[in-house]
C-alpha cells in the first residue's frame, strides 16, 4: 500500500519503504526548491517545513513516514494571511540577506504567527533559536517577524 500525504495541498504518493528524506522529495521529486538542504543534521534550520502545522527538519524526516500528513513549504507562503504578512515585512525591511536560511526561518515564523500569543522580541528570538544566520541579518529578521505578528493581530 502506498503512503499518501499532501504538499501545499497537492496529493503525493510514495512507497512505504521509500527512505528519501522529505527535503530530497521536495527538491528533486517535486521540484519545489524553496526548502534548502544545509547541515543535514537538524542543526541549521534551513530545511524546516511545516508538517501538520508544526516546524520539522525535513532533512531527517523520511517520506515513507508521512502517511496522512499535510506538508507546507515556503512556496505556499502567499496562500495565507500570515504568510503574506511575513513576505511583505521581510521585503519592506530587507530582512533576509541570503536565500539559504530564509525559507526555513519563514516557515517557523509562520507557525509562530499562527500560534503565539506573545509577539515580543524575546519570544520571537526564542522561537527562531534553532535557525542559524551567520550574516548579521538577525536583528532585521526579528523586526520583520514582529512587524508581521502585529500586522496579523491588527488585521492589516
Ligand atoms: S539541513 Fe536540516 S537542519 Fe540543517
Ligand atoms: S540571512 Fe541567511 S545567513 Fe543571514
Cβ atoms of 96 and 90 closer than 8 Å? yes
Which of 75, 104, 121 terminates a domain? The answer is 75
d(CA 60, CA 37): 10
Mean pLDDT of 131-143: 90
Q: Give residue-wise pLDDT tens across range 3-56.
A: 999 999 999 999 999 999 999 999 999 999 999 999 999 999 999 999 999 999
Same-domain pairing of 93 and 145: yes
Same-domain pairing of 68 and 20: yes
**Helices and strands (H and E) in the chain: how many:** 5, 5
Q: What domain range includes position 135?
A: 77-153
Cβ atoms of 53 and 103 closer than 8 Å? no
- Could you tell me the CATH number of the domain that includes residue 43? 3.10.20.30
Which grid cell sits at 145? Answer: 517577524
Which of 17, 50, 75 terminates a domain? The answer is 75
The closest ligand to the CA of 46 turns out to be: 1
Domain count of the fold of the chain? 2
Ligand 2 pocket: which of 98, 99, 106, 131 to mutate (most atoms within 8 A of CB): 98
Amino acid at each position: 500500500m502506498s503512503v499518501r500525504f499532501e504538499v501545499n495541498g497537492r496529493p503525493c504518493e510514495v512507497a512505504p519503504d521509500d527512505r528519501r528524506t522529505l527535503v530530497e522529495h521536495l527538491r528533486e521529486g517535486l521540484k519545489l526548491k524553496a526548502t534548502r538542504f544545509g547541515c543535514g543534521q537538524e542543526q541549521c534550520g534551513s530545511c524546516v517545513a511545516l508538517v501538520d502545522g508544526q516546524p520539522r527538519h525535513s532533512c531527517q524526516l523520511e517520506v515513507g513516514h508521512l502517511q496522512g500528513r499535510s506538508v507546507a513549504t515556503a512556496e505556499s507562503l502567499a496562500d495565507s494571511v500570515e504568510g503574506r504578512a511575513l513576505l511583505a515585512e521581510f521585503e519592506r525591511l530587507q530582512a533576509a540577506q541570503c536565500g539559504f536560511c530564509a525559507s526555513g526561518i519563514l516557515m517557523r515564523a509562520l507557525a509562530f504567527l499562527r500560534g503565539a500569543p506573545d509577539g515580543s522580541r524575546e519570544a520571537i528570538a526564542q522561537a527562531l533559536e534553532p535557525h542559524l544566520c551567520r550574516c548579521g541579518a538577525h536583528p532585521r529578521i526579528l523586526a520583520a517577524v514582529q512587524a508581521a505578528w502585529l500586522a496579523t493581530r491588527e488585521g492589516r
